Structure formats: structure tokens, C-alpha cells
Amino acid sequence: MTISMTTYLLARRLRDNLGQNTQTMFLSCYPQAVDYTRPHLSTIMANCSVDGCSSKVVGRGLCDTHYRRFMRHGTTAAPKRAPPGAGYIFRGYRIHEINGIRKFDHVRNAETALGRELPPAAIVHHVNENKLDNANTNLVICPDQAYHKLLHIRTDALNACGNANWRRCKYCKQYDDPVNLLLWKNGRRVPHAAHAACSKQASTSFRHGAKKRRSESTGALL
């Protein structure tokens, strides 16, 4: 059933004059009537402010899609998509799924070069430290994590002081020839390194700190 414009306008006027109750009265008199006094959402919602988008605004003058995109990426432009077959990136490393087997590209390349699967402890290192550069010349297969860590330490030393054999003092952070340093393993696979003087100073200040902490907790004077 459709209602005439006159009935509708009358109902509007009644509602405006008498308050919201008339609306209920009107609807109870004409149960089949559409609630014309309540504007349809589409008439009160503006269109999205993005060019070429006619969806309704949900916030900040943007539609749902563009609002979410803006909140997530800071721009309403469509996100760049990798071409099909480019795989995807996980923790900085590219992964491809081939024949249902999902594998890091660097691992797959290393295994192809090796001619068999990598041993369980093996780690593939990127020489230029670019995780996405999976060229064979950029990959080194390390037998285990200790060897891999050593490669990183030597690379860092080479970049910092020009000598891959030098080690960094853990206290003053300066690189020095290992003959000037104390090296101790302490259960680690890659040893700590520190100048004797730096180490002594550190333990002295630690003991002073401990004494201070003790006196503070007991309230005793130093």
C-alpha cells in the first residue's frame, strides 16, 4: 500500500507539532505504511570524498573501504600488489609455494645448488645482509647457528674497523685486536670480548652498586 503525499505531509506536520508520539499513532493507524518520516539512510549519508567512489560515508568523509585503507596505510590509494607468482614475504624473507611445498627462496636456492635438502641445523646466510637478494652468489650455507653468528660478527667488525678478526669490547663498545681483549666463553658458542680495564671497572661499579643497593634496603649509612 502506498500512502498519499497529503497523508504523509499531515503526519509530518502532526509529528512536528505534537512530538514523536504522533509518529507512533500514525504508524498504528496505518500498520502497512512505510515510515516515511524517518529518512532512509542513503538520503542522509553523503558520498565518499574519493574521486570515482560513490559509496556512502562512514567516517572522515570516506566510505568503509577507503576509511579502513586510510586508517591502515595513511592513504586512500589502492595498495600495491605484487604480480602473480611473486610469492609473499614473511619476516623479510620471500616465500614461494611450488607443488604444494612452501619454502623460503634462499633455502630453496641453497638446496638446488647443494643438490639435496639442507641438514636440519644448517642456516643460509645472506652475504650483503639483504634478505631479499637470493642470488646464489649472495648465499652462504652455514653448518649451524654458531658459525652463522660468527659470520655476522666478522662482517660487523670488517664494516666497523676494517679488520674482520677484531672484536668489540662489550663495555666500551670499541673494536680492538683480540690480543688486547679478554675472551671468555661462559657457556656461549661465541665468546664475550672485553678489555681487562673495562671489565675491572664494570665489576667495581657493579659491586659499588650492589653495596649502595644493600645500604638503601637496610637503611644503613655507607
Q: How many residues of this chain bind Zn ion (CB under 5 A)?
A: 12
- 27 scored as a contact of Zn ion (CB under 5 A): no
From candidates 11, 66, 139, 193, binder to Zn ion by CB under 5 A: 66
C-alpha cell at position 192: 664475550
From candidates 11, 26, 63, 107, binder to Zn ion by CB under 5 A: 63
Q: Of the two residues 8 and 70, which places its CB atom closer to Zn ion in the complex? A: 70
- 48 scored as a contact of Zn ion (CB under 5 A): yes
Q: Of the two residues 55 and 138, which places its CB atom closer to Zn ion in the complex? A: 55
- 110 scored as a contact of Zn ion (CB under 5 A): no
Contact 143, 122 (CB under 8 A): yes
Show the binding pattern over residues 162-201: x = contacts Zn ion (CB under 5 A), - = does not.
-------x-xx----------------------x--x---
Distance in Å, CB of 58 to Zn ion, minimum:
9
Binding site for Zn ion (CB under 5 A): 48, 50, 53, 55, 63, 66, 125, 169, 171-172, 195, 198
